[in-house]
Amino acid sequence: MHKLSGKVAIVTGASKGIGAGIAERLAADGAAVIVNYAHSQADADAVVQRIAAAGGKAFAVKADIAKPAEIQPLIDAAVSQFGRLDILVNNAGVYKIDSLDTLTAESFDEHFNINVRGLLLVTQAAARVLAAGGAVVNISSGVAKSPYPSVHVYCATKGAVDVLTRSLAMELGPRNIRVVGIAPGFVATEGNAASAAAMADYLVGKTPLGRVGQPRDIAATVAYAVSDDAAWVTGATIDVAGGLVF
């Protein structure tokens, strides 16, 4: 029996990379999945098609979570398409290089509008319909605790995500809704392919398990976090990094 049979999940930023891996794993575990995307419908449709080919259920919904007006329609789509909502995975985010010399107010706003404000407003809207026993997963990063000076703003957003994981868990706990953070290490995705080639040897050298992470590594931990196996886990951020400390 699939652990998530009868459950409905939204995965933000699920058209590729870690988000796509999460969507496909949750569907394989039995959940019906809303595959959210902001830009590429073709990529989102490809994820839906892979899920359907494997016998799962999925539906692609366009919504840019940096735009507050697009958030409620995303939540409404889950309820309209599948009748309920049990799981929210806040994966959508932006990552850009911004040293002290190069960062701008525009970059600051872009990062925080998606990585922090968007995450919080999506959770606010989802919480109004999440069923008791539901779960919210926030995708953080190892740099929340061991930041890099070349990505000040991104690191700051992920520190904020860890704080929100704790505070949201405290507010939603009485409704039996859990909130869990996942902090990936160095994971190979389409979005970081260029930098991955340059940094792989260095970061793998710092990783006790000796390899680059894959989206499936993060997806497996998300699948655990939203399942009944994690029924006593909330307010915590779990490192999924092969032992890497940035």
From residue 225, give the alpha-carbon distance in Å to each of 212, 236, 237.
22, 10, 10
**Can you list the positions of beta strands (E) in the chain?**
8-11, 32-37, 57-62, 87-90, 135-139, 178-184, 237-240
Element (H, E) at 235: none
Which helix (H) or strand (E) element contains residue 112?
helix 105-112
37 is catalytic: no
2's tokens: 């699939």
Q: Of 37, 95, 154, 202, which residue is the catalytic one? A: 154
**R_g over Cα of the chain:** 17
Per DSSP, which regions of 63-169 are E strands?
Answer: 87-90, 135-139
85, two tokens: 């909502």
CA atoms of 113 and 94, how far apart (whole Å)? 9
Enzyme catalytic residues: 154
